[in-house]
């Protein structure tokens, strides 16, 4: 039973709830199922001959399909980016939206606030001072770091630069104030300041592992992603606000450049692409092919990035300004490494909660290939400079960057200057650790305010929905169904192929007989499940009966829901419903085998899709096939899922018209809150600190919570099955979200009998009382 309990119940509750159930519930009389004596196919189908674990074969086929789609996205981008055929400003807007930058406005007229000890001086050298500064970025979030400022006639300021460290570096390392800390780069901020540049060095959130068994960066990324924002977006706000502050405090107009290594290289590339005020850009330790985005750290996951942008496309937005690309040295970072140092991908529950990932180290050939693509896109009139280095930010790279700014005083042979005075904190505070904590707290608080605001965002998003009459509702809800399909779930622009059904007799019970079924969906992609028929159904009589599609939860299989392994939570509901006269079908959904499927979510999201982008067409194929069976009533096919199957009940029926009703068991709640809440009390239920690192969906906070998804099911019947002791969420969170659904059905549309909830004193399970009555009522069946 462990597999199901991990579905939507926080891990630390699972054992307690399972144990409570074992103590309080009498063992159910499980259906006696025995293997069929023959493996003959269902009449009208070919015989199924596939052997082995068909569930695993389905998930592996999904994986291969996604790899092919990522490769195809690279090719399709070529047409979008033919030299001279695209609007650069429009592409910048698209990129800003992908990063969530359009969700929050930067502060007007931001300037530096000095808060060090001696008139803000942290350190002093000949002709140079270093200041501890902060500057407003967006409401509630500041940038913080160091400002290196030339002083005196011998070293006049002629250029402004933002030097961005890698996430695991501090501004002090780039400023030469941490001489005993080994660094992957030169103190390039200091070297530029010695050449007459005023240099701002922002601090980034580091990659250290925290108490939640994930990196600090993933911890901040998770709720931000759910709310239509990005940790990268927050950091870009800080960098671009730094551009504002440098411009606002310059005594005269002067060139400005951005340079960075590792994570800072990413931010430099993105900032240079987004802001034409940046005259020169240097990217070190980042540029290369991006098709492996799914295996990078979680915070690099940008929904739909590879549909429009690779590194070459982003870099082309810097043109015609100066761009230097330095390769050869990269941050050496892997979270959850295997024995060979690569991110581990295992098919069992890992010890850590965070996503496996590494900061990518492209091959020289990969860098050259992406650079060639960049030149093809940008045209022959603009040539970025490529540098290969064995130490990051070497003299050649910095000289080329300085040349792009018109800085003639930069000497690549210059050595870092010695400081005359470094002012310690008089109270002995660790200002680096305190600064980092402040920045993490500010971003976390901002996401929690965004969570509170998200209900109003969704109301604004749904302002075009009309509920004056049922007809008005049916017309206007289609706009949102299309948005859900394309912008939230994601849809492959592919026609399904012929189903070519293959079946074989599988098991028998006293009142039932079942068949394994495999259908083709796309080339190489299959649907798999178990069809269970009542023995009193004469397949040749012309009688047509309703079907209930019974959906398993996380790490589950069709066998689980027919009762073969005797998982108590499922209560063998596919077989029990067949014993009551229904036809049932138990599909295999692709959320199985831990890292294997979870990383498929990241593969999907990199091209603007999700796991359900494959699951939905699999269900379209299943329901179309079921509807053609001579003993099935095509108008009476229902969906009933528990746990992750309940999550499916909120996402599949809105997009599969053949489902005439939907029952969500053990999952319905205030879903956006469950994913994005980080306060200590909510973390009992929230996914923000759990091992389901794939669960987060881009910008649900601004679009579709569960009440809005239920509206996509309406006016079809909809029901929630809720155990009071289910650890998915507290009762009040379930009731709060369901009240909005009930209001739509009953108060606004007058559909009194079509929306129900059953509360029962039990845990995370199929209760099979009110829901069975609901099915019998709306599918026209009696016991």
pLDDT in tens, 234-259: 999 999 999 999 999 998 899 999 99
Indicate if the pLDDT at residue 740 is higher than 60: yes
Tokens linked to 450 = 């965004």
Q: Which helix (H) or strand (E) holds 513?
A: strand 512-522
What does the H/E/C string look like for 9-41?
CCHHHHHHHHHHHHHHCCCCCCCCCEECCCCCC
pLDDT tens sequence across 78-130: 888 986 678 999 999 999 999 999 999 999 999 999 875 555 578 888 888 89
Can you point out the beta strands (E) in 567-656?
583-587, 632-642
Q: DSSP letter string over 748-763?
A: IT--TTSEEEEEESS-
> What CA–CA distance (Å, rounded) separates 783 from 777?
10
> What is the model's pLDDT at position 24?
41
> What CA–CA distance (Å, rounded) separates 611 from 56?
15
Contacts of 722 (CB under 8 A, 6+ apart): 665, 666, 668, 731, 734, 757, 758, 759, 760
What does the H/E/C string look like for 421-457?
EECCCCCCCCHHHHHHHHHHHHHHHHHHHHHHHHHHH
Indicate if the pLDDT at residue 401 is higher than 50: yes
What's the burial of 105, exposed, middle or buried (CB within 10 Å: 0-12/13-18/19+)? exposed
Cα–Cα separations (whole angstroms), residue 649 to 63, 152, 447, 605, 644: 23, 69, 28, 21, 9
Contacts of 303 (CB under 8 A, 6+ apart): 98, 225, 605, 608, 698, 699
The pTM of the whole model exceeds 0.85:
yes
User: Helix or strand or coil: residue 532?
Assistant: strand
> What CA–CA distance (Å, rounded) separates 367 from 388?
10
Q: Confidence class of residue 199 from pLDDT cuts 50, 70 and 90? A: very high
Provide the b/e sequence for 584-615 (b: ≥16 CB within 10 Å): bbbbbbbbbbbbbbbbbbbbbbbbbbbbbbbb
Average pLDDT, the chain: 92
Q: Cβ–Cβ contacts within 10 Å for residue 188, how many? A: 30
Tokens linked to 228 = 């239509």
> What is the model's pLDDT at position 186?
86
pLDDT tens sequence across 261-296: 999 999 999 999 999 999 999 999 999 999 999 999
What integer is the mean pLDDT of 496-520?
Answer: 97
pLDDT tens sequence across 413-448: 888 888 877 776 655 568 899 999 999 999 999 999
Nearest to 94 by CA among 258, 270, 297: 270
> What is the model's pLDDT at position 341?
94
Are the C-beta atoms of 546 and 535 separated by less than 8 Å? no
Integer Rg of the chain from CA: 29
> What CA–CA distance (Å, rounded) separates 72 from 220?
31
> What is the model's pLDDT at position 86?
82
> What is the model's pLDDT at position 420?
74
> What is the model's pLDDT at position 123?
81
> What CA–CA distance (Å, rounded) separates 336 from 599?
13
pLDDT tens sequence across 645-695: 999 999 999 999 999 999 999 999 999 999 999 999 999 999 999 999 999
Q: How far is it between the farthest Cα atoms of the chain?
A: 100
Nearest to 559 by CA among 33, 152, 113: 33
Tokens linked to 14 = 């699972």
Q: Which helix (H) or strand (E) holds 202?
A: strand 197-202
pLDDT tens sequence across 599-640: 999 999 999 999 999 999 999 999 999 999 999 999 999 999
> What CA–CA distance (Å, rounded) separates 356 from 211?
17
Q: What percent of the chain has pLDDT over 70?
A: 93
Indicate if the pLDDT at residue 717 is higher than 80: yes
> What CA–CA distance (Å, rounded) separates 697 from 710?
17
Residue 303 C-alpha from the chain's centroid = 7
pLDDT tens sequence across 540-594: 899 999 999 999 999 999 999 999 877 889 999 999 999 999 999 999 999 999 9
Q: What percent of the chain has pLDDT over 90?
A: 85
> What is the model's pLDDT at position 286?
97
> What CA–CA distance (Å, rounded) separates 292 from 307?
14
Q: Where are the alpha helices (DSSP H) in 1-124?
A: 2-5, 11-24, 54-80, 88-98
Provide the b/e sequence for 308-318 (b: ≥16 CB within 10 Å): bbbbbbbbbbb
Nearest to 394 by CA among 513, 285, 512, 270: 285
Q: Where are the alpha helices (DSSP H) in 282-337?
A: 305-308, 311-316
Pairing of strands 46-47, 502-508: parallel
> What is the model's pLDDT at position 566?
77
> What is the model's pLDDT at position 127?
83
> What CA–CA distance (Å, rounded) separates 299 from 222?
8
> What is the model's pLDDT at position 411?
86
């Amino acid at each position: 039973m462990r597999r199901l309990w991990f579905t939507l119940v926080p891990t630390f509750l699972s054992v307690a709830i399972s144990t409570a159930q074992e103590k309080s519930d009498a063992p159910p009389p499980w259906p006696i199922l025995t293997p069929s004596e023959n493996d003959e196919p269902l009449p009208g189908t070919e015989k199924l001959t596939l052997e082995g674990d068909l569930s695993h074969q389905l998930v592996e086929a999904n994986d291969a399909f996604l790899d092919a789609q990522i490769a195809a996205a690279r090719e399709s981008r070529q047409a979008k980016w033919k030299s001279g055929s695209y609007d650069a400003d429009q592409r910048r807007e698209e990129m800003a939206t992908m990063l969530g930058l359009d969700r929050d406005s930067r502060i007007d007229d931001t300037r530096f606030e000095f808060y060090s000890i001696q008139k803000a001086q942290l350190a002093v050298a000949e002709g140079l001072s270093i200041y501890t500064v902060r500057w407003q970025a967006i409401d509630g979030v500041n940038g913080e770091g160091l400002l290196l400022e030339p002083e005196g006639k011998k070293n006049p300021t002629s250029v402004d630069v933002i030097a961005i460290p890698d996430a695991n570096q501090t501004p002090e390392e780039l400023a030469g104030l941490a001489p005993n800390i080994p660094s992957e780069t030169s103190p390039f901020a200091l070297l530029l300041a010695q050449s007459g540049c005023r240099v701002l060095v922002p601090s980034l959130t580091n990659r250290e592992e925290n108490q939640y068994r994930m990196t600090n960066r993933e911890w901040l990324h998770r709720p931000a992603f759910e709310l239509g924002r990005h940790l990268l977006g927050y950091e870009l706000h800080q960098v671009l606000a730094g551009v504002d502050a440098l411009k606002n405090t310059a005594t005269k107009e002067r060139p400005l450049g951005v340079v960075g290594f590792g994570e800072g290289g990413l931010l430099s590339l993105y900032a240079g692409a987004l802001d034409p005020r940046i005259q020169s850009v240097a990217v070190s330790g980042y540029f290369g092919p991006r098709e492996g985005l799914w295996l990078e750290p979680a915070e690099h996951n940008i929904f739909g990035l590879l549909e429009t942008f690779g590194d070459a496309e982003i870099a082309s937005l810097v043109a015609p300004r100066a761009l230097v690309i330095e390769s050869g040295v990269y941050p050496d970072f892997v979270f959850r490494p295997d024995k060979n140092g690569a991110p581990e991908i295992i098919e069992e529950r890992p010890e850590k909660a965070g996503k496996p990932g590494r900061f990518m180290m492209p091959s020289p050939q990969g860098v050259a290939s992406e650079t060639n693509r960049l030149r093809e896109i940008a045209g022959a009139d603009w040539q970025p400079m490529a540098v290969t280095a064995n130490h990051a930010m070497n003299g050649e790279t910095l000289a080329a960057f300085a040349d792009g700014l018109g800085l003639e005083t930069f000497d690549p042979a210059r050595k870092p200057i010695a400081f005359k005075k470094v002012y310690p904190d008089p109270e002995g505070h660790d200002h680096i650790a305190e600064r980092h904590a402040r920045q993490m707290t500010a971003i976390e608080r901002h996401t929690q305010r965004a969570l509170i605001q998200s209900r109003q965002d969704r109301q604004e998003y749904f302002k075009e929905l009309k509920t004056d009459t049922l007809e008005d509702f049916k017309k206007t809800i289609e706009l949102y169904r299309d948005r859900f399909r394309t912008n939230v779930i994601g849809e492959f622009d592919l026609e399904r192929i012929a189903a070519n059904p293959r079946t074989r007799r599988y098991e028998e019970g006293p009142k039932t007989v079942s068949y394994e079924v495999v259908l083709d969906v796309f080339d190489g992609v299959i649907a798999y499940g178990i069809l269970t028929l009542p023995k009193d159904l004469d397949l040749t009589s012309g009688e047509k009966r309703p079907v209930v599609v019974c959906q398993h939860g996380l790490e589950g299989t069709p066998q689980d829901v027919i009762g073969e392994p005797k998982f108590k939570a499922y209560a063998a509901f596919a077989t029990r419903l067949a014993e009551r006269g229904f036809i049932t079908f138990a599909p295999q959904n692709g959320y199985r085998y831990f890292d294997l499927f979870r990383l498929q979510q990241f593969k999907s999201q990199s091209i603007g899709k999700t796991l359900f982008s494959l699951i939905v067409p699999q269900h379209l194929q299943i329901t179309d096939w079921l509807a053609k069976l001579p003993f099935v009533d095509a108008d009476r096919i229902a969906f009933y899922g528990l746990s992750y199957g309940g999550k499916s009940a909120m996402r599949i029926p809105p997009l599969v018209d053949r489902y005439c009703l939907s029952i969500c068991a053990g999952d319905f709640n205030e879903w956006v809150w469950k994913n994005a809440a980080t306060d200590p009390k909510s973390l009992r239920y929230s996914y923000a600190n759990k091992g389901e690192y794939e669960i987060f969906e881009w910008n649900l906070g601004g679009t579709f919570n569960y009440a809005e998804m239920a509206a996509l099911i309406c006016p079809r019947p909809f029901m929630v099955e809720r155990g009071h002791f289910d650890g998915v969420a507290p009762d009040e969170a379930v009731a709060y979200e369901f009240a909005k659904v009930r209001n739509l059905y009953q108060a606004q549309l007058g559909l009194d009998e079509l929306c129900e909830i059953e509360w029962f004193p039990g845990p995370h399970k199929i209760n099979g009382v009110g829901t069975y009555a609901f099915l019998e009522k709306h599918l026209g069946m009696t016991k």
